Amino acid sequence: MSEHKGFLISGFADEYSPSFDEQLAGMKSLGIGYIEIRGCDGKGIEKHTEAETKELKRKLDAAGIGLSAVGSPIGKIQVTDDFAPHLELLRHVCEQAHILGTERIRMFSFYMPREGDRRENLKKYRSEVLDRLNRMIEVAESEKLLLCCENEIGLYGEGPDECLDVAETFGDRLGFVFDPANFILSGAEAYPRAFHMMKKHMTYMHIKDAAAKGEILPAGQGEGRIGEALSEIEDKDGFFLTIEPHLKVFDGLTALSGEHSGLVKNRFSTSAEAFRAARDGLYECIGD
């Protein structure tokens, strides 16, 4: 089913299988009616051509699976990297979003240098981060699309203070994706602190949990207090919860999420089993 207790349920189906056909079949078998498209047939969505993207859309429609967002890697480069090619990539992803039929593009807020004190780097590069984000937002606005910035380890928007800084700077020009596990693994308190800071800015959530010691877990088994957070979301109508298991190593994990690859403990024997456990954990958190 596409909905559970008012929430719309989506998933990163590339964690089920690298094959797009198997992704669609897997989500249908789990009763998940949407995907956040990220990896398809061995490569990231942003690496697919216009023709290939149209074929992905054809398969989505044939399977009766909707799209909650394009799970792009936009913004997941060093803040010191050349930015012009990245803007061109964003323009391509915007074209893909139109083809695929979604208004939302997940993106990031740039990696900080590993050298030096992080707090000093945040001050030093803040204006560059905000300038780059503004230019990206302008591209998306011209296409009538919404960029949705995810909190992530190692980026400017790693902790809740910087995420709030970005959100308040751009207001409703920029969406926000709340990921409890990413806050926990960066050393922050996902709930209540980060959640209450970011609640009014949230566009949707990624659902994975974690222990502060450094292990990704099904929702409800870590320190994210996901059930309590979900109980505080008043307007569930159209609010997406995207399941992101990270419970078993999958093709492309290191490339997609290098900071997380060592935290996936292969607790399950198959990707299907891992995805089902992640789904069941979410449903238990939502409750009756």
At 237, which CATH number? 3.20.20.150
Paired tokens of 222: 């870590």
Residue 103 pLDDT more than 80?
yes
**Measured between alpha carbons, how far is 62 from 180 in angstroms, rounded to an integer?**
33
Tell me what pLDDT residue 266 has: 64
Do residues 179 and 206 lie in contact, with contact meaning Cβ atoms separated by under 8 Å? Answer: yes
At 180-203, the pLDDT tens digits run 999 999 999 999 999 999 999 999
Tell me what pLDDT residue 248 has: 73
Q: Comparing 252 with 77, which gets the higher pLDDT?
A: 77
Whole-model pTM above 0.85?
yes
Give residue 35's domain range: 3-286
* Total tally of structural domains belonging to the chain: 1
Residue 235 pLDDT more than 90?
no
Residue 101 pLDDT more than 80?
yes
Average pLDDT of the chain is 94
* Residues in Cβ contact with 18 at an 8 Å cutoff, skipping those fewer than 6 apart: 39, 41, 42, 250, 251, 252
Tell me what pLDDT residue 71 has: 98
Do residues 69 and 242 lie in contact, with contact meaning Cβ atoms separated by under 8 Å? Answer: yes
pLDDT band at 121 (very low <50, low <70, confident <90, very high): very high
